[in-house]
Amino acid sequence: MMLPTRYASLLKRFGALIVDVVIVLLLIGALEAALGALWLPLDFIGYLTKWIGLRHAFDSMVYHLPGFLRGEPSDIPSFLVLVIVALYHAAFEAGPRQATPGKMLFGIFVTDRLGRRISWRRGLGRGFGRLVSMAICFIGFFVALLAPRSQALHDMLASTLVLELSSPPPPPAPGAGPQ
C-alpha cells in the first residue's frame, strides 16, 4: 500500500542538503584525522633516522608520498571528496529508508518515477549528477522551482523524484507487530 505523497518542497530539500553537507564534512574530517595519524609512525622513524644521521634520505623518501599520507591536513584529493559525496548519497538513498540523514530529518525520500526504491546504480548516478548540479553554480537545484514534478537537474538525469508524505502514516493495528 502506497501512502499519499507529494513532491518535496525546495525549502525542505535545501534544509536536508545543509544537514548532509555538515555530516559529509565531519566524515571527511574524521578521514583526514585518521590519515594524519599515519604520520605518527613516520615521524617517529624520522626522529630515529635523524639520530643515526640518515634524516636526509628519510625526508627524501617521505617527500614522494601523497600529501594526505604525509599527514598534511586538508589534503585529501578533490576527486576523493567527490567520490565520498556521491557514495554517501547513493548508499542512503538506495537503502531501505530511501533517504540520507538530512532527508530523514525533513521527512522526505527518494524514489524512481514509479515510486519505487531506487537501485544502487541509479543512486550513484544521482549522486554524481548532484555534483553537476553544484558545479554550475547550484543552478541544477533551482531547476526544481520550474519543473512540473519539482525535479532538480540531478533528479532528471537519474529519473528520480523526491517526495514527502502528504499525511502522517496510519497508526499500526492493535496487536500487529513489525512485519
**Whole-number mean pLDDT of the chain?**
80
152 vs 51 pLDDT, higher one: 152
- Domain count across the chain: 1
The answer on pLDDT for 39 being more than 80 is no
Look at residue 63 and tell me if it is in a domain: no
Look at residue 130 and tell me if it is in a domain: yes
Look at residue 71 and tell me if it is in a domain: no
pLDDT at 69: 52
Q: What's the whole-number mean pLDDT along residues 123-147?
A: 89
Max avg pLDDT among 9-13, 47-51, 173-177: 9-13
What is the domain extent for residue 80?
Answer: 5-33+76-165
Look at residue 48 and tell me if it is in a domain: no
Look at residue 57 and tell me if it is in a domain: no
- pTM, full prediction: 0.73
Look at residue 69 and tell me if it is in a domain: no
Measured distance CA(144)–CA(155) in Å, rounded? 9
Measured distance CA(62)–CA(42) in Å, rounded? 8
Cβ-in-10-Å burial (0-12, 13-18, 19+) of 170 comes to exposed
